[in-house]
Chain A
Amino acid sequence: MRIPLFNMLRRSPLENTLKHSEKVAECAPLFVKAVESYFHGEREEFELIKEEIRDIEAQADRIKRNIRSHLPPSMLLPFPLPAFFAFLREADKVVDCVKNSLYWMSYFNISLPSEIQRDYLSLVRTVGDYLGLLPEMVRRGHVYFDSRMEEDRRSVKNIVREIRHREKASDDLEKTIIVRLCATEEIPPKTFFVMIRLVETTGDIADHLENAADMMRALISR
């Protein structure tokens, strides 16, 4: 059967990007649950969730590779291809950081003063909430590129602003934990080192999400 003119029209890469971002967001509740299990001493549960997140990360990676390999430079898109790849890279780093945070926790049994533990859980919950904004941002972006209407563009801009705002909140929490860690003398050096890396890696989740939002802002520029 012949579909002449329309053979050259392809589906938007944002369709698969949405699937990728949904995979990333799927990690959010699991991440929170894993950290809670860890601090409740349920190591088996923690390990199971960690493996589940590793699987999700692998799936997200496959989707990302699929998107990249189906976007040759000959594809004419409504946004610059390098900016889109940068967006995808940043979105993918989010799930990498979730996985890496859990890996830092799994290297040895971290024992923390209760207030630092509480602050870290608070950081994890903040970041976990925040991950849900990624698929929503991609969905709105897709709607905008389909309609090209200013109203839809504003809706993307609103969520970009919301992500920036939330990143600032998580950044403040990250700094607070680091200050507390430095101020607490009784923390063993190994725990201190792992906690610094853990807090930084968890903070990176928010940073990469903010970078992805910045790239989305560049994609929708008129």
Chain B
Amino acid sequence: MSAELSIIVLAIVAGAYMAWNIGANDVANSMASAVGAKAITLRQALVLATILTFLGATFVGSHVAQTIRKGIIDSEAIGDPRVILVGLLSALLAASLWVCLSTYKNLPVSTTHSIVGAMIGFGLVAGGPSVVNWLQVAAIVSSWIISPLLSGLTAFLLFRFIDRLILARMETVKGAVTTAPILAAATIFIMTLSLFLDTPLGKRMGIQGAEVLVIPGLVTVLSYFISSMVLRYFVLRSKFRTAEEIFRYLQVMTSCYVAFGNGANDVANAMGPLAGIYFIVTQGSVSDTAPVPTLMLAFGGFMICVGICTWGYRVIETVGSKITHMTSIRGFTVEFSAATMILGASMLGLPVSTTHAAIGAYIGVGLARGLEALDLRVVWKIMLYWIITVPVAACTSVIIYFILSTIFLGR
């Protein structure tokens, strides 16, 4: 077997493992609260998560993935395509190993930050500190504080808003009739805006600048009136007894959106470096961006789905039945806040993680006295893992790079 073929095989295995991890953990998280709140059954959650993740990964996942994620290192400064080839593989393997270890330790780490840390490690040994984009590193460090803080603040305010306008009333349904359509419209706005903002779909439709707000704006207004009318119709026929029943539908919407978004965004973490390796092997040159064949995205999507169906269902089942009782209102608040923050940060170009945003949102709801009990010691432990993700992935990447360069580059 030639060296290039061995590298491609290894890269496929590492990329597949990374995608599997995304499915097993991150996507499962998106559906677990909906199952916990009994808004949907476990089977429905699995079907929805599998379909939406696959669709998100294959059709909205970036077709031109950044091979060097988030432009963290300057590939031109390194020059030699063979070094970058081995470096990309080292980064992918190091990130996979780190995600694997944190999976074993029951702690959520960001797959994006793992791959970024691994890239830094490889960049440092291959080209020295000058090839690393330290501004981007600073942005990542700031995101450890910014993403949980902003999503926490959003969740806190949203829960207080729902608490004051809906839950504090004797007849919660009456409060929900006026408030829920606003929240439904806001959810739809976030969902449609993220479909067009900086996505292949938006580019294909030639949407630029402020134009991106037109379709989501129209859909939002329309959805407000439709949801308002539908809600009033059902309330008049006494279909709902409490606001919680209304929020079930909103929660399923946000859960679906998070699953779709995970497929669309995170597939690049697994397939981006793989596409880069494939590009170097086939073209013999380096590029900051490389076309990702639809088949590769579909493979990434498929592996995420395998992750959902093999381990994801256990995560959903455990959370849904054993860990805690999540109401739909809390689940909706957490998911809506995390999704809003992710979208806002994307617009500002900040590299934020869904996991970080979700944890911030849980703390926000907890501070608004919305959760029955939240253990902050676990939160600190999780945060410690976020911080060490980048240096550990970087160090692992360096070790793997030295081993692989001895094998493949004879150094």
B294 at the interface (CB under 8 A from A): no
A147 at the interface (CB under 8 A from B): yes
Bound: A7/B325 CA distance, A: 13
B369 at the interface (CB under 8 A from A): yes
B374 at the interface (CB under 8 A from A): yes
Please tell me if the beta carbons of A151 and B369 are within 8 angstroms of each other in the complex: no
Bound: A1/B317 CA distance, A: 12
**Given known A-B contacts A13-B373, A147-B244, A150-B168, A4 and B355 have beta carbons under 8 A apart:** yes
Please tell me if the beta carbons of A6 and B319 are within 8 angstroms of each other in the complex: yes
Bound: A152/B32 CA distance, A: 26
Q: Which of B52-60, B356-364, B399-407 contacts A (4 or more CB under 8 A)?
A: B356-364
Residues of B within 8 Å of A154, CB to CB, are: 170
Please tell me if the beta carbons of A146 and B325 are within 8 angstroms of each other in the complex: yes
Residues of A within 8 Å of B104, CB to CB, are: 2
Q: Least Cβ distance of A179 to chain B in Å? A: 44
Please tell me if the beta carbons of A3 and B362 are within 8 angstroms of each other in the complex: no
B 150-192 to A, binary, CB cutoff 8 A, 1 in contact else 0: 0000000000000100011110100000000000000000000
User: What total of chain A residues lie within 8 Å of the partner, measured CB to CB?
Assistant: 30
Which of B315, B326, B329, B374 is A76 in contact with, Cβ under 8 Å?
Answer: B374
Please tell me if the beta carbons of B107 and A4 are within 8 angstroms of each other in the complex: yes
Bound: A40/B170 CA distance, A: 51
B32-50 residues with Cβ-Cβ distance < 8 A to A are: 32
A74 at the interface (CB under 8 A from B): yes
Query: B164 — nearest CB in chain A belongs to which residue?
Result: A222
A68-86 residues with Cβ-Cβ distance < 8 A to B are: 72, 74-79
Which of A146, A149, A150 is B372 in contact with, Cβ under 8 Å?
Answer: A146
Which of B172, B329, B366, B382 is A151 in contact with, Cβ under 8 Å?
Answer: B172
Please tell me if the beta carbons of A5 and B376 are within 8 angstroms of each other in the complex: no
Q: Least Cβ distance of B102 to chain A in Å? A: 8
A9 at the interface (CB under 8 A from B): yes
> What DSSP secondary structure best describes chain B's contact surface?
helix
**Given known A-B contacts A78-B372, A150-B169, A7 and B378 have beta carbons under 8 A apart:** yes
- Scoring A4, A72, A148 by chain B CB atoms within 10 A of each residue's CB, the highest score goes to A4
B29 at the interface (CB under 8 A from A): yes
Please tell me if the beta carbons of A3 and B327 are within 8 angstroms of each other in the complex: no
B280 at the interface (CB under 8 A from A): no
Q: Least Cβ distance of A220 to chain B in Å? A: 11
Please tell me if the beta carbons of B323 and A9 are within 8 angstroms of each other in the complex: yes
Residues of A within 8 Å of B373, CB to CB, are: 9-13, 75-77
A192 at the interface (CB under 8 A from B): no
Residues of A within 8 Å of B106, CB to CB, are: 1-4, 7
A183 at the interface (CB under 8 A from B): no
Q: Least Cβ distance of B36 to chain A in Å? A: 8
A39 at the interface (CB under 8 A from B): no
Query: B366 — nearest CB in chain A belongs to which residue?
Result: A76
Bound: A150/B175 CA distance, A: 12
B255 at the interface (CB under 8 A from A): no
Which of A1, A2, A4, A9 is B371 in contact with, Cβ under 8 Å?
Answer: A9
A133-147 residues with Cβ-Cβ distance < 8 A to B are: 145-147
**Given known A-B contacts A8-B378, A10-B374, A78-B372, A1 and B242 have beta carbons under 8 A apart:** no
Please tell me if the beta carbons of B315 and A2 are within 8 angstroms of each other in the complex: yes
**Given known A-B contacts A2-B24, A148-B163, A150-B168, A9 and B324 have beta carbons under 8 A apart:** yes
Bound: A147/B370 CA distance, A: 9
Please tell me if the beta carbons of B315 and A1 are within 8 angstroms of each other in the complex: yes
Query: B325 — nearest CB in chain A belongs to which residue?
Result: A146
Q: Least Cβ distance of B55 to chain A in Å? A: 23
**Given known A-B contacts A9-B371, A13-B373, A150 and B319 have beta carbons under 8 A apart:** no
Please tell me if the beta carbons of B311 and A8 are within 8 angstroms of each other in the complex: no
A-B contact pairs, 18 of them (CB 8 A): A2-B106, A2-B107, A3-B106, A4-B25, A4-B355, A6-B319, A7-B375, A8-B374, A10-B374, A12-B373, A74-B377, A76-B371, A76-B373, A78-B370, A78-B372, A146-B325, A148-B167, A150-B172
The 3 A-B residue pairs with the shortest CB-CB distance, nearest first, are A4-B108, A12-B372, A10-B373
Given A7-B378, A12-B372, A145-B372, 15 other A-B contacts at CB below 8 A? Answer: A1-B318, A2-B24, A4-B25, A9-B372, A9-B373, A9-B374, A9-B375, A78-B372, A79-B369, A146-B327, A147-B167, A148-B163, A148-B327, A150-B168, A150-B169
